[in-house]
């Protein structure tokens, strides 16, 4: 057996407990040595309280996202970092629903989560964050994160491997220094590619670090049914059913936006 360590990283769950269960089943079957969740457990989907017992039962190590930071401090909005009114309109619907439906017990638990986590794996320093090392709600997009910017960010934060989420779109880049950035994508909604699956990231640490984005199929029709039952916006349900984003689009850089339908 080669001496490797396999770790699974889950981006925003956005209350998609069905996708979380499917991803955990897959990660365990593929012998993951560690399971990590990068925050934003609620938002967008139905029944936020269903996510937390699943995370704890599976032994997932979690950090806060902007959602946990906001919910646990009683903030009035998600601090998602959007600037356009249409993005903020839907973000507020999402946040108000999630804040109302998340029990105070779980809000207290969120407060205990760290905002970042550091691991040492096969001699490499791995830093887990939600947005970026400098801001919980910074969007690290593939098209607007040049190599020099990422090199400096990883050097400044003393990380060989940076794992983040928050944007909703998975990507990775190996930097000239040998450092690596991985945006793990999200489990909460599809990646705006016309496919209904969601994604998580599997990193294998050995002599090199390899990154694999794993597609997760789950019962998206059941998720859509639950969302309808909870009277969540039709726009959100359309995204789950078609794989195309219909909201929170204005924040997308031009390149990422071009790949979507809207």
The one among 166, 180, 202, 226 contacting Fe ion by CB under 5 A: 166
Stretch that binds Fe ion, among 22-30, 33-41, 119-127, 233-241 (CB under 5 A): 33-41
Stretch that binds Fe ion, among 26-34, 64-72, 108-116, 189-197 (CB under 5 A): 64-72
Can residue 17 be called a binding residue for Fe ion (CB under 5 A)? no
What tokens does 151 get? 């090199």
Q: Could you tell me the CA-to-CA distances from 236 to 19, 200, 233 in Å, in that order?
A: 16, 20, 5
Between residues 32 and 164, which has the closer beta carbon with respect to Fe ion?
Answer: 164
Can residue 48 be called a binding residue for Fe ion (CB under 5 A)? no
Ranges assigned E (strand) in 72-208: 117-121, 124-128, 161-164, 171-174, 180-183, 198-205
Can residue 66 be called a binding residue for Fe ion (CB under 5 A)? yes
- Sorted by sequence, the CB contacts under 8 Å of residue 247 that are 6+ apart come out as 86, 87, 90, 233, 235, 236, 239
Number of residues in contact with Fe ion under rule CB under 5 A: 4
DSSP annotation of 91: H
Q: Which of residues 132-161 bind Fe ion (CB under 5 A)?
A: none
Can residue 87 be called a binding residue for Fe ion (CB under 5 A)? no
Between residues 45 and 65, which has the closer beta carbon with respect to Fe ion?
Answer: 65
The one among 21, 40, 87, 256 contacting Fe ion by CB under 5 A: 40
Whole-angstrom distance, CA of residue 47 vs CA of residue 55: 14
CB of 38 to Fe ion, least distance (A): 9
Can residue 65 be called a binding residue for Fe ion (CB under 5 A)? yes
CB of 43 to Fe ion, least distance (A): 8
Whole-angstrom distance, CA of residue 141 vs CA of residue 121: 25
Between residues 66 and 172, which has the closer beta carbon with respect to Fe ion?
Answer: 66
With vertex at residue 152, the alpha carbon angle to CA 33 and CA 81, rounded to the nearest 5 degrees, is: 80
CB of 32 to Fe ion, least distance (A): 23
DSSP annotation of 21: H
Whole-angstrom distance, CA of residue 82 vs CA of residue 181: 23
Give residues in contact with Fe ion (CB under 5 A).
40, 65-66, 166
């Amino acid at each position: 057996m080669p001496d490797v360590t396999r770790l699974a990283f889950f981006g925003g769950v956005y209350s998609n407990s069905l996708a979380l269960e499917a991803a955990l089943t897959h990660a365990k079957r593929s012998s993951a040595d560690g399971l990590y969740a990068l925050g934003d457990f609620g938002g967008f989907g139905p029944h936020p309280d269903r996510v937390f017992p699943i995370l704890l039962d599976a032994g997932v190590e979690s950090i806060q996202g902007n959602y946990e930071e906001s919910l646990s401090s009683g903030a009035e909005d998600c601090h998602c970092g959007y600037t356009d009114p249409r993005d903020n309109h839907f973000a507020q619907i999402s946040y108000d629903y999630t804040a109302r439906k998340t029990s105070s017990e779980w809000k207290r638990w969120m407060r205990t989560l760290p905002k970042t986590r550091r691991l040492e794996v096969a001699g490499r320093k791995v830093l887990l964050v939600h947005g970026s090392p400098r801001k919980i709600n910074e969007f690290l997009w593939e098209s607007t994160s040049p190599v020099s910017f990422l090199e400096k960010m990883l050097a400044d934060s003393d990380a060989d491997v940076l794992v983040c989420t928050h944007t909703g779109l998975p990507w990775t880049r190996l930097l000239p220094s040998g450092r690596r950035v991985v945006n793990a994508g999200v489990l909460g909604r599809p990646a705006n590619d016309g496919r209904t699956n969601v994604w998580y990231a599997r990193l294998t640490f050995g002599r090199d670090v390899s990154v694999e984005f794993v597609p997760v199929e789950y019962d998206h029709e059941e998720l859509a049914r639950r969302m309808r039952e909870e009277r969540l916006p039709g726009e959100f349900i359309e995204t789950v059913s078609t794989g195309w984003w219909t909201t929170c689009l204005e924040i997308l850089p031009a390149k990422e936006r071009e790949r979507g339908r809207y």
